Amino acid sequence: MARLALAASRQLLRRCQPRPFSSVSIPIARGYATASTTPGQQPQQPQQQPQQQPQRPAFDNRIKLVEVGPRDGLQNEKTSIPMETKIELINRLAQTGLRTIEAGAFVSPKWVPQACMDKSSDILQHLLINPPSSPKPLTFSFLVPNQKGLDNAFSILAKNPSAFATSPDDATASKPAVELAVFAAATESFSRKNLNCSIAESLATFRQVIQAAKESNPHGLSLRVRAYISVVLGCPFEGHDVDPHRVAQIATELLEMGADEIALGDTTGMGTAPRTKDLLVCLRAAGVRNEDIAFHFHDTYGQALVNIAVALEHGIRTFDCSVGGLGGCPYSPGATGNVATEDVVYFMETLGMDTGVDLDKVADIGEWITKEIGREHASSVGKAVLGARRRAQAEAKV
């Protein structure tokens, strides 16, 4: 039995080895076209190759954290979570200094019952009418997989036209920005499981969604659009060896369609430091700018912070995380939660990076929400912060 386990873990380690980078071809280098392509049209080819990436100054230590707990963190729960709990979670998170919160998903309730359309409509409506009090202007992000999701989101936005900003730069304390997120996959199997269509079909749909979100909707809105690519470092159905060039191709297509940001999802947590680096090298070679990339790591194999360190070193400054390490993906069997917000904040601050987030407040929320939904508290830092605080309080009483 022990020998079998050892053989299995050796096999797993072998599969995690990076491919020698010199053996793979460099992907197409393209610039980003404008979003003004019409559905069915090929993306515009740029007139000139993208220029050398402008590197961020060495002193730029600002980190943008995207809190995905209220959507990604809760979507996998088997029992229905009351809307009041979701709203309370968002309200509490809004007070921590986090500026971007993924709040819901306009997906088919037949596919993800927890992310039921009605609840996301209610949540969006509530957030527009009663924006949470927050020390900083907020952006709320909502997943939209197709035209129906977009119509549902727009029907709420159109009812409250002056209650939100269309870009994070225009958001104020009383007027949050709303952004939409489409989600592609890096493998055909995951695309079929998650979206019931091929990658090419999903991209054709996203072209229309992005264009409508940007300019061709009847409401005259132009919303920021984030574009996820799932399973970029490992697929539950096709294994570890996801082609980074394919990821780079999909990323450039989405950017050419007008997506404002590519969120690279290590959905299964199979990512390792060398393969994270390979992927970033490929993206850079494809002309994708660091400031257009976010990373979304799950911590299933405990590698999320290591991978974040690699991405940080390569100049990435936007990272997704989930309070209390909540999460999982309904179409990624065995995947555990997103990397915990508490762990990322602590890690960043120890490196001298500035997240603007109050660790103590986030630790309290991690404890509260995991108790509330009966989940294990998966943040080491969160538990350590709370433990240290309790010890200090006990000592102060003596």
Ligand X SMILES: CC(C)(COP(=O)([O-])OP(=O)([O-])OC[C@H]1O[C@@H](n2cnc3c(N)ncnc32)[C@H](O)[C@@H]1OP(=O)([O-])[O-])[C@@H](O)C(=O)NCCC(=O)NCCSC(=O)C[C@@](C)(O)CC(=O)[O-]
For ligand X, the binding residues in 43-102 under the rule CB under 6 A are 72, 75
| Helix (H), strand (E) at residue 142 | strand 139-143
Q: Binding pattern to ligand X, positions 149-168, x when CB under 6 A?
A: x--x----------------
- In the chain, the DSSP E strands lie at 64-67, 100-105, 139-143, 177-185, 224-230, 261-266, 293-297, 318-321
Per-residue burial over 268-294, b = 16 or more CB atoms within 10 Å of its CB, e = otherwise: bbbbbbebbbbbbbbbbbbbbbbebbb
Using CB under 6 A, which of 145, 168, 269, 382 touches ligand X? 145
Using CB under 6 A, which of 35, 66, 93, 115 touches ligand X? 115
Between 120 and 252, name the residue whose CB sits nearer to ligand X. Answer: 120
Distance CA 11, CA 22 (A): 23
Between 105 and 363, name the residue whose CB sits nearer to ligand X. Answer: 105
For ligand X, the binding residues in 17-36 under the rule CB under 6 A are none
Q: Binding pattern to ligand X, positions 356-385, x when CB under 6 A?
A: ------------------------------
- Check if 329 is active-site: yes
Between 228 and 347, name the residue whose CB sits nearer to ligand X. Answer: 228
> 331 and 96 in contact (C-beta within 8 Å)?
no
- For residue 183, the cross-strand partners are 228
Distance CA 24, CA 244 (A): 10
For ligand X, the binding residues in 276-315 under the rule CB under 6 A are 296
3-state secondary structure of 334: coil
Q: Which region, judged by CB under 6 A, interacts with ligand X, from 48-56, 327-335, 361-369, 374-382?
A: 327-335
| Helix (H), strand (E) at residue 229 | strand 224-230
Based on the shown chain and the rule CB under 6 A, indicate whether residue 146 belongs to the binding site for ligand X.
yes
Using CB under 6 A, which of 196, 204, 371, 391 touches ligand X? 196
> 276 and 312 in contact (C-beta within 8 Å)?
no
Query: Which of left, alpha, beta for 227 (phi over 0: left; psi -120 to 50: alpha)?
Result: beta
Number of residues that bind ligand X (CB under 6 A): 29
Distance CA 71, CA 62 (A): 24
Based on the shown chain and the rule CB under 6 A, indicate whether residue 140 belongs to the binding site for ligand X.
no
Q: Which of 52, 5, 82, 56 is nearest to 369 (CA)?
A: 82
Between 152 and 303, name the residue whose CB sits nearer to ligand X. Answer: 152
Based on the shown chain and the rule CB under 6 A, indicate whether residue 230 belongs to the binding site for ligand X.
yes
Per-residue burial over 58-81, b = 16 or more CB atoms within 10 Å of its CB, e = otherwise: eeeeebbbbbbbbbbbbbbbeeeb
For ligand X, the binding residues in 172-191 under the rule CB under 6 A are 183
Between 43 and 104, name the residue whose CB sits nearer to ligand X. Answer: 104
CB of 282 to ligand X, least distance (A): 18
CB of 72 to ligand X, least distance (A): 4
- Name the one residue in this structure whose structure tokens are 């979570």: 81
Q: Which amino acid is at 360?
A: D
Q: Given 116, 235, 321, 329, which residue is catalytic?
A: 329
Show the tokens assigned to 316.
Answer: 């990435």
What is the CB neighbour count within 10 angstroms for residue 267?
31
Q: Which region, judged by CB under 6 A, interacts with ligand X, from 84-92, 130-138, 272-280, 326-334?
A: 326-334
Report the Cα 277 to chain-centroid distance in Å.
19
CB of 160 to ligand X, least distance (A): 20
Between 264 and 385, name the residue whose CB sits nearer to ligand X. Answer: 264
Based on the shown chain and the rule CB under 6 A, indicate whether residue 108 belongs to the binding site for ligand X.
yes
CB of 347 to ligand X, least distance (A): 20
Between 87 and 117, name the residue whose CB sits nearer to ligand X. Answer: 117
Show the tokens assigned to 217.
Answer: 């909707």
| Active site members | 329
Using CB under 6 A as the criterion, which residues of the chain lie in contact with ligand X when the complex forms? Answer: 72, 75, 105-108, 110-112, 115, 117, 143, 145-146, 148-149, 152, 183, 194-196, 228, 230, 265, 267, 296, 329-331
